[in-house]
Amino acid sequence: MVVVSGTHEEVSATYDRNKELREFDDTKAGVKGLVDAGVVKLPRIFVHHHPSNALLHEGSPGSIRHNQTQTQLRLPIIDLGDGIIDKDATFRKEIVEKVRHASETSGFFQVVNHGIPQTVMDEILEGIRRFYEEDTEVKKQFYTRDYVNKRVAYNSNFDLYSSPAANWRDSMYCSMGPQPFNPQDLPEACRDILMEYSDQVKRLGIILFELLSEGLGLKPNRLREMGCEEGHALLCHYYPACPEPELTMGTSEHADGDFLSILLQDHIGGLQVHHQNQWVDVSPTPGALIVNIGDLLQLISNNKFKSAEHRVLAQKVGPRLSIACFFTTTFLPSTTIYGPIKELLLEDNPPVYRETTVLEYTTYYMAKALDGTSALENFKLQTSSSEEKK
Ligand code: OGA
Ligand code: NI
């Protein structure tokens, strides 16, 4: 047995990681099941060895929480004015400018007065909590890793068997469009509110794609015409309180593999975005939704808009709930080809990426796991500089 002191790097002949992963998966009860069973020591499959882990928590050398500048950076909060953007051209121009600036720099911003009522946001969080707090036997019916054939996929760690270490999180994926479906396929605990929130967030997505199109200097419906808002899915996360948060992550650092994400988080916090070489807290803001650019929008905007790395810290407090809406058609067999938008290309702005399909991109992204590297790298044209992503 080799023990590398202080790193939890214990290589033991008796440790069968795959067996432990399978046993955990077979419970179909997720991380919540471990917490309910009274686990106080982290099972080894959740212990992170990734170097970024050393930067996570207070007390460790180079800790981000020692780095005072971390709290000085704040993401912009953009007031969408509850529909005024359609009536007031001057206001709209200002908003487009703010959206463009945020999308080009941090790739993240928050929006308020976005048109989704507070009651709907409160109720979707409550509905998701009801689902997770239901009897395990009920939830088990939805436990699967089949995202292609299943409308709803509840599991823990989509990349459980391929990532370097598991995250302290359970998730439920609901594909909400564009294919028609039977609402009865959704869990009863949150069925009605999922449908309601889905409609509302889709409407907001359309507004944002218009603002983003204008931010790129294109006509408002350009991104819509390309089908960026055609499909959307809701990924509903549950981050149980963690007994040893310094050893693991809620969500490992990653960039989203879609066009655009709209995230609703509860009051707990823990989400951070990588910006100007620091991890910046995305602080819970009452009534706000978080918007971030995904890889596919970075690709078609030819790096003008940034798909930023972000992560969620594991915490002693919890559970934390969040609901991400991903705009993408995921595994649908669409033939639409996506590459850098032609109008954006100039002699001194040649295409950085090759053309691809959403299906090809998603398949690559999902197989790659959240390993801290960008899936976009794989789609770069040979001639482009490897410095382009950041
Ligand atoms: C995601 C994500 C953040 C959160 O689902 O891709 O980054 O706060 N979620 O749960
Ligand atoms: Ni994400």
Tens digits of per-residue pLDDT, 265-314? 999 999 999 999 999 999 999 999 999 999 999 999 999 999 999 999 99
Q: How far does the centroid of ligand 2 lie from the alpha carbon of residue 84, in Å? A: 29
Spatial separation of the C-alpha atoms in residues 173 and 61, rounded to whole Å: 37
Confidence of residue 71 (pLDDT cuts 50, 70, 90): low
**Is omega for the bond preceding 319 within 30 degrees of 0, making it cis?**
yes
Which atom of ligand 1 is the closest one to the Cα of 270? 8
pLDDT above 90 for 66: no
Average pLDDT, the chain: 90
Residues with CB under 6 A from ligand 1: 235, 237, 251, 256, 263, 265, 271, 310, 312, 322, 324
pLDDT above 80 for 370: yes
Q: Where are the alpha helices (DSSP H) in the chain?
A: 17-27, 30-36, 89-104, 118-132, 136-140, 191-215, 222-225, 295-300, 358-368
Which atom of ligand 1 is the closest one to the Cα of 292? 7
Domain spans of the chain, in order of start: 17-389
- The predicted pLDDT at position 179 comes to 86
Q: Whose CA is nearest to atom 2 of ligand 1?
A: 324
Cβ proximity of 381 and 352 under 8 Å: yes
pTM for the full predicted model: 0.91
Q: What is the mean pLDDT of residues 336-347?
A: 96
Q: What is the DSSP letter of 328?
A: S
The residue whose CB lies within 8 Å of the most ligand 1 atoms, and thus the one to mutate among 237, 252, 274, 321, is 237
Which atom of ligand 1 is the closest one to the Cα of 171? 5
Which atom of ligand 1 is the closest one to the Cα of 311? 7
| Residue 164: C-alpha distances to residues 8, 92, 240, 366, 376 (Å) | 14, 45, 20, 14, 20
Q: Whose CA is nearest to atom 6 of ligand 1?
A: 256
- Supply 270's token pair: 């823990």
pLDDT above 70 for 78: yes
Strand, helix or coil at 310? strand
Q: How far does the centroid of ligand 1 lie from the alpha carbon of residue 324, in Å? A: 6
CA dihedral for 318, 43, 10, 368, sign (positive or negative): negative
- The predicted pLDDT at position 275 comes to 95
- The predicted pLDDT at position 172 comes to 98
- Identify any residues that bridge with 265 across adjacent strands, giving them in sequence order: 322
Q: CB within 8 A of 190, min separation 6: which ones?
A: 124, 127, 128, 130, 131, 236
- The predicted pLDDT at position 318 comes to 97
Query: For the segment 97-127, what is each residue's pLDDT rounded down to a tens digit?
Result: 999 999 999 999 999 999 999 999 999 999 9
The maximal CA–CA distance of the chain, rounded, in angstroms, is 70
Spatial separation of the C-alpha atoms in residues 283 and 312, rounded to whole Å: 12
Q: Whose CA is nearest to atom 1 of ligand 1?
A: 324
pLDDT above 80 for 10: no
Cβ proximity of 163 and 365 under 8 Å: no
Q: How far does the centroid of ligand 1 lie from the alpha carbon of residue 14, in Å? A: 34
Helix (H) / strand (E) element for 331: namely none
Q: How far does the centroid of ligand 2 lie from the alpha carbon of residue 176, in Å? A: 18
Which atom of ligand 1 is the closest one to the Cα of 290? 8
The residue whose CB lies within 8 Å of the most ligand 1 atoms, and thus the one to mutate among 251, 262, 272, is 251
Q: How far does the centroid of ligand 1 lie from the alpha carbon of residue 89, in Å? A: 33
Which atom of ligand 1 is the closest one to the Cα of 322? 10
Confidence of residue 12 (pLDDT cuts 50, 70, 90): low
Cβ proximity of 63 and 57 under 8 Å: yes
Query: For the segment 214-235, what is each residue's pLDDT rounded down to a tens digit?
Result: 999 999 999 999 999 999 999 9
pLDDT above 60 for 253: yes
pLDDT above 90 for 206: yes
Say which CATH class 17-389 falls into.
mainly beta
Q: What is the mean pLDDT of residues 193-200?
A: 98
Confidence of residue 322 (pLDDT cuts 50, 70, 90): very high
Spatial separation of the C-alpha atoms in residues 304 and 302, rounded to whole Å: 6
Percent of the chain at pLDDT > 90 equals 82
Confidence of residue 11 (pLDDT cuts 50, 70, 90): low
pLDDT higher for 93 or 54?
93
Q: How far does the centroid of ligand 1 lie from the alpha carbon of residue 368, in Å? A: 17
Percent of the chain at pLDDT > 70 equals 88
pLDDT above 70 for 69: no
- The predicted pLDDT at position 263 comes to 98
